[in-house]
Amino acid sequence: MSKLQTTSSAIARAHLTGDPDAVASARRDHEFARIEAAIERALAVAPPLTPGQVKRLSGLLRTGK
């Protein structure tokens, strides 16, 4: 089972508990897994990034903007 499938299943299980905090946590974990997978796919086919590009992407991750 992929990480995205696992996190998607966790959302469903959290909904069954009726715990809004568990649902929010499961959704956060799922979105993290989606972002992580997208970054991995992009880096697998892209030429090496420059230090400036790495700094910019790191900044996006730190601030969320």
Residue whose token pair is 């009726």: 18
pLDDT tens per residue across span 2-54: 998 999 999 999 999 999 999 999 999 999 999 999 999 999 999 999 999 99
Residues in the chain: 65
Under 8 Å between Cβ of 41 and 57 = no
Please give the distance of CA 43 from its chain centroid, rounded to a whole number. Answer: 15
Going from the C-alpha of 32 to that of each of 35, 47, 50, the distances in angstroms are 5, 24, 24
Q: For residue 65, name the pLDDT band (cuts at 50, 70, 90).
A: low
Check pLDDT > 80 for residue 58.
Answer: yes
Structural domain count, the chain: 1
Q: Which residue has the higher pLDDT, 65 or 9?
A: 9
CA-based angle 36:25:56, to the nearest 5?
A: 35
> Which residues constitute the domain of residue 34?
3-63
**What pTM, to 2 d.p., does this model score?**
0.79
